[in-house]
Structure 1
Amino acid sequence: MDPDRILFVDGEALVIDKPAGLPVDRPRDGSLSLDNHLEQLRLGFRRWPVAVHRLDRDTSGCLLLARNPKAAVRFGQAFEAGLVEKRYLAVLDGVPEGEGGTIDLALAKVSSRDAGWRMVADPKGKSARTGWRTVQVKDGRALVEFRPETGRTHQIRVHAATGLGVPVVGDPVYGQADRAGMMLHAAALKLPRPGKEPVFAEAPMPERFGNWS
């Protein structure tokens, strides 16, 4: 992995700018995943770092890894407690109504033999909340900032497609696949640490976003 993709490092935390297309978990077909880069990301430590949360394969940006087991537990608890601030940027395949607000839409997982699994809005599902605001509009599309308050699977993607009625550009499940890839990027992450400076990182906009800023 390019050293330039290391956004933050200290004795217990490592934040990388995960490239789109790289899965965090090892795929069943044995293709490349984050695991293939962990040896390189030891950075002199005896243990491999461990991913504390997940980003979808086609989502780029800030991914936090813990460099020791105690840190992994504490960081995981911070995510569970909703203490981690996350900021995402996405280009939507249309322009949502209004300038911003909060999407409060519970999510549940459904699956079928033919279509596989996906997340859907379901009042009986797990609560999911996402703050959003429109940053830029051009050519019938919008660059939108999302700040998820919860961390459900595919949360931003479903909240965009169902909550706002406008899917993320290139989303192969909730919108239309695109050769350029899915336009969803984890732009920033901040994790508070009692008695220490917070873990904070910002990931630059990827090339696939073109001249969106």
Structure 2
Amino acid sequence: MKEVSQIAVSADEDGIRLDRWFKRHFPMLTHGRLEKLLRTGQVRVDGARAKANARLDQGQIVRVPPLGEDAEKPAPRAERAISDKDAAFVRSLVIHKDKSIIVLNKPSGLAVQGGTKTERHLDGMLDALTFDAAERPRLVHRLDRDTSGVLVLARAAKAAAALARAFKQKDARKIYWALVVGVPTPRQGTIDLALTKQGGPRAERVFAADKDDEDARNAVTHFSTVATASYKLAWLALMPLTGRTHQIRAHAAAIGTPIVGDGKYGGVNAHPGGEIARRLHLHARSIDIAHPDGGRFFIEAELPPHMKASWKLLGFDERDAENAFEGLDE
């Protein structure tokens, strides 16, 4: 590309950020170089200056100056070798699919993304979920490795941008089910407790924050006790109003009812013993969110096997959670 180009934003790119649009079209262009081109007005949108975080609309024209051969080279394609077994496995998790989104019921124990010691993860299997789309689906939110349940994927950039806005604007109602040790008092209420990470940005645990902690992040969770097994165990429905790392786990422990199987936040008290599995009993049961194509979208995910076994053992009826938050202001 030796001359200025005028590139139209496609329908598939409606709502995407300008810097991410460049990442898609010119993946070898560094962010620093892009920022310089924006500051000097060499990159424009519909003839006007723009910032890297500007959202693009379908049909807008992006002015792209000559970038040089290196910046215009396509990024080397990462080879993702997915075994037939893993491909069949990840497809078995699909509980909904339409032209814009895919919803999985993520099992407990499967990491969403890779890490230093995590080689098998959901992100590494997404190529098996392309189906009839032009690209692999995109992650728009996360679940902890040991948390099961509803996980929404976007099938295109436009859908990803719409879902990201819904999460950012708190236009998504997520309900979690948990089995906890003890019974909260009161049995229904709101946990408003700021959280902070200790040990740097990659810290894997959060703590209740001091008032003067500059790194503290506001965290709010509604909770409601659906059923109890004597005073030893309780089934809680939880609705996070914010999306902090380990928020539900830390909040449940903070009110004296750690989630069963959560040794990180409940210590030895999180393992009641007997026939209750020593696995995390936290499940993303449902989500109600604005669908990228319009209207509302609601879906539920079945409990994982270890939680189903506990519910059966304790005599809990899933229908009892239908009006768990009735009378609680959102």
TM-score (norm 2): 0.60
5+ unaligned residues in a row in structure 1: which ranges?
none
Equivalent in 92, 115, 118 of residue 27 of structure 1: 115
1:165 is displaced (CA, Å) by: 1.3
2-side partners of 1:77 and 1:107: how far apart?
23
Q: What is the aligned partner in structure 2 of residue 188 from structure 1?
A: 286
Q: Are the structure 2 counterparts of residues 43 and 180 from structure 1 closer, same or farther at C-alpha, using a change threshold of 3 Å? A: farther
Instruction: For 1:192, give the aligned amino acid.
Output: A
Task: Provide the residue aligned with 1:148 in structure 2.
Answer: 240
Alignment correspondent of 2:44: none
Q: 1:197 aligns with which of 283, 291, 295?
A: 295
SS in 1 for 2:265: coil
Q: Please, which runs of 5 or more residues in structure 2 have no aligned partner?
A: 1-88, 272-276, 319-330
How much has 1:120 moved relative to structure 2? 0.7
Number of positions where the alignment pairs a residue of Structure 1 with one of Structure 2: 209
Partner Cα separation in structure 2 for residue 193 and residue 50 of structure 1: 15
C-alpha change, 1:142 and 1:198, in structure 2 (3 Å) is same
SS at match of 1:173: helix
User: In structure 1, what is the Cα distance between the partners aligned to 2:129 and 2:286?
Assistant: 20
Question: After superposition, where does 1:1-213 map in structure 2 within 5 Å?
Answer: 1=89, 3-111=91-199, 117-122=204-209, 123=211, 124=213, 125-139=216-230, 140-162=232-254, 164-176=255-267, 180-193=278-291, 196-209=294-307, 210=309, 211=312, 212=316, 213=318
Q: Which structure shows the bigger proportion of residues in strand conformation? A: 1
Q: Secondary structure at the match of 1:39?
A: helix
Amino acid at match of 2:99: G
Pick which of 50-59 and 170-179 moved more. 170-179
Hey, what's the Cα distance between the residues in 2 that align with 1:185 and 1:26? Answer: 21
**Which whole-Å CA distance do the structure 2 matches of 1:195 and 1:8 have between them?**
15
- The structure with the largest helix share of the pair is 2
Alignment check: 8 A CA contact 1:8 1:200 kept: no
Distance of aligned partners of 1:129 and 1:18 in 2 relative to their CA distance in 1, 3 Å threshold: same
Shift of 1:127: 0.8
- Alpha-carbon RMSD across the aligned residues, in angstroms, is 1.9
Alpha-carbon spacing, 1:12–1:106, altered in 2? closer, same or farther (3 Å): same
Deviations 1:7-39 (A, max 9, x none): 222111111000011111112124210023212
Specify the code of the residue in structure 1 equivalent to 2:224.
R
Tell me the CA shift for residue 6 of structure 1.
1.4
Deviation at 1:42, TM superposition (A): 1.2
Q: Report deviation, 1:3.
A: 4.2
Higher RCO (CA < 8 A, seq sep 6+): 1
Cα gap change, 1:131 to 1:58, in 2 (>3 Å): same
The TM-score normalised by the length of structure 1 is 0.91
Kept in 2: contact 1:137–1:143 (CA 8 A): yes
| Cα distance in 1 for residues equivalent to 2:161 and 2:90 | 27
Q: How far has the Cα of 1:70 moved from its partner?
A: 1.6
Percent of counterpart pairs with the same letter? 38
Query: Contact 1:8–1:199 (CA<8 Å) still a contact in 2?
Result: no
Cα distance, 1:192 vs. partner? 1.3
Change in Cα spacing, 1:31 to 1:79, as seen in structure 2 (3 Å) is same
Question: Are 1:180 and 1:208, in contact at CA under 8 Å, matched by a contact in 2?
Answer: no
Larger radius of gyration: 2
How far did 1:71 drift?
Answer: 1.2
